[in-house]
């Protein structure tokens, strides 16, 4: 017997209702498998030991694909086929870009590709290019997923002192795969180096780069640079300054004559 999406049965803060349902279904006698997300499992772990021992004793953990695994690259080929030549990106590059923007979560991939196509259409194009993926990643429609991806990457590179959100953290202790950590670390180092390089360009160089890669410039320029505002001098202040300069000039001439 298979029960899916059990987290939607539980509408409150606790897990009493879903616990009763699962235990009742288990009494039927047939082998029972239920599917739940991280949030629900965290709540089930707070139940009494007699409940947790019956409901959480044999977990099968489903993790996102890694960049180097066969299933991820097969999924990329299916994405290319489903897009019907609308994706003008090489398969290997597409695999890296989508992993960078989704952390290997396939639900995020679907949303990102949809938004990327909207970006392409807004630019009067019928095919998705790499710049469309970047634009989709920073778009408002992907903002919720972007926050989750950035938090997962940050947690993979360096464990935060406050901890990751429970809905993103596996409730069971598992080692994070080294390939995920290595890709996240290298990608971060590359983005930092690019940002430093763009920030060091002269105005002429920046203008040239803007023409060939506008998205690269837009995403790597410092966002906290503000123009210094010049306060307009009043007529009274200008008159005082003029009088002060005139007096200083006359005093200098009198001194030289003597």
**Are 178 and 209 spatial neighbours (Cβ–Cβ below 8 Å)?**
no
Residue 121 reports pLDDT greater than 90: yes
Q: How many CB atoms lie within 10 A of CB 12?
A: 9
- What's CA 241's distance to the chain center, in Å? 54
Higher pLDDT: 133 or 172? It is 133
d(CA 32, CA 34): 7
Residue 185 reports pLDDT greater than 90: no
d(CA 127, CA 208): 25
d(CA 102, CA 89): 17
Mean pLDDT estimate for the chain: 79
Q: Kindly report, residue by residue over 20-46, the tens digit of the pLDDT.
A: 888 888 888 888 888 888 888 888 888
Those residues with Cβ within 8 angstroms of residue 225's Cβ, 6 or more apart along the chain or in another chain = none
Query: How is the chain split into domains, by residue range?
Result: 2-55, 70-184
Residue 93 C-beta-side C-alpha neighbours within 13 Å: 9
d(CA 123, CA 231): 40
Residue 180 reports pLDDT greater than 60: no
Res 143: pLDDT? 94
Looking at beta carbons, which pairs linking 211-214 to residues 24 or more positions away fall under 8 Å?
214/131
Helix (H, G, I), strand (E, B) or coil at 128: strand
Structure tokens at 3: 């029960």
**Are 111 and 149 spatial neighbours (Cβ–Cβ below 8 Å)?**
no
Res 2: pLDDT? 84
Those residues with Cβ within 8 angstroms of residue 88's Cβ, 6 or more apart along the chain or in another chain = 127, 128, 129
pTM of structure: 0.64
Question: Where are the extended beta strands (E) located within the chain?
Answer: 2-3, 33-34
Mean pLDDT of the region 113-122: 95
């Amino acid at each position: 017997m298979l029960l899916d999406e059990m987290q939607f049965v539980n509408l409150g803060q606790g897990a009493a209702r879903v616990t009763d349902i699962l235990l009742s279904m288990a009494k039927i006698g047939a082998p029972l498998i239920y599917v739940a997300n991280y949030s629900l499992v965290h709540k089930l772990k707070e139940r009494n030991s007699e409940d947790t021992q019956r409901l959480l004793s044999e977990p099968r953990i489903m993790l996102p694909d890694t960049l180097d695994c066969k299933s991820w690259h097969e999924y990329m080929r299916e994405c290319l086929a489903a897009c019907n030549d609308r994706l003008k990106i090489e398969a290997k590059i597409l695999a890296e870009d989508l992993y960078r923007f989704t952390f290997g979560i396939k639900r995020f991939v679907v949303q990102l590709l949809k938004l990327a196509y909207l970006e392409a259409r807004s630019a009067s194009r019928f095919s998705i290019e790499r710049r469309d993926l970047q634009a989709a990643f920073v778009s408002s429609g992907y903002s919720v997923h972007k926050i989750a991806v950035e938090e997962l990457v940050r947690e993979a590179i360096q464990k935060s002192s406050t901890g990751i959100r429970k809905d993103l953290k596996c409730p069971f202790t598992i080692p994070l795969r080294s390939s995920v950590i290595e890709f996240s670390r290298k990608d971060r180092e590359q983005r930092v180096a690019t940002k430093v390089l763009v920030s060091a360009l002269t105005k002429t160089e920046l203008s040239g780069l803007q023409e060939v890669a506008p998205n690269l410039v837009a995403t790597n320029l410092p966002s906290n640079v503000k123009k210094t505002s010049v306060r307009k001098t009043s007529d009274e202040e200008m008159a005082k300054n003029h009088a002060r300069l005139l007096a200083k000039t006359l005093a200098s001439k009198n001194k030289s004559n003597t």
